[in-house]
Amino acid sequence: NAGVTQTPKFRVLKTGQSMTLLCAQDMNHEYMYWYRQDPGMGLRLIHYSVGEGTTAKGEVPDGYNVSRLKKQNFLLGLESAAPSQTSVYFCASSRRMNTEAFFGQGTRLTVV
């Protein structure tokens, strides 16, 4: 059981570079989420999706874009990375609206 898998696990970017983080889940979950986790700030929602082809903004969406072309995948893009985007990014998925979320192992991103 893979659950939620994030790729890559670590990345260092230079300011202004772009990258895409990939999240894949094999639980046939409808809902998928991208969070960032920073010291003292907890988990903050960036974007989420309630189904294939849908996306919505969360608490801190600026500087990020997402796509959900396939039900099992949720991509997070940074078009022009900034040092403020240095963080640990977590993807999560849940079966439907009122069920618990399952998390991936995280991607540690450093922007220099």
Partner 1 sequence: QKEVEQDPGPLSVPEGAIVSLNCTYSNSAFQYFMWYRQYSRKGPELLMYTYSSGNKEDGRFTAQVDKSSKYISLFIRDSQPSDSATYLCAMKVDTGNQFYFGTGTSLTVIP
Interface residues with partner 1 (CB under 8 A) are 4, 31, 33, 35, 40-45, 48, 50, 56, 58-59, 90, 97-98, 100-106
CB of 17 to partner 1, least distance (A): 24
Q: Is 70 exposed, middle or buried (0-12, 13-18, 19+ CB in 10 A)?
A: exposed
CB of 103 to partner 1, least distance (A): 4
Tell me the three-class secondary structure of 43-90, residue by residue: EEEEEEECCCCCCEECCCCCCEEEECCCCCEEEEEECCCCHHHCEEEE
Q: Which is nearer to partner 1, 17 or 58 (CB)?
A: 58
CB atoms within 10 A of CB 66: 23
| Residue 44 bridge partners (DSSP) | 36
Q: Which is nearer to partner 1, 1 or 42 (CB)?
A: 42
Q: Which is nearer to partner 1, 26 or 79 (CB)?
A: 26
CB atoms within 10 A of CB 32: 28
Q: Which is nearer to partner 1, 69 or 97 (CB)?
A: 97
CB of 43 to partner 1, least distance (A): 4
CB of 102 to partner 1, least distance (A): 7
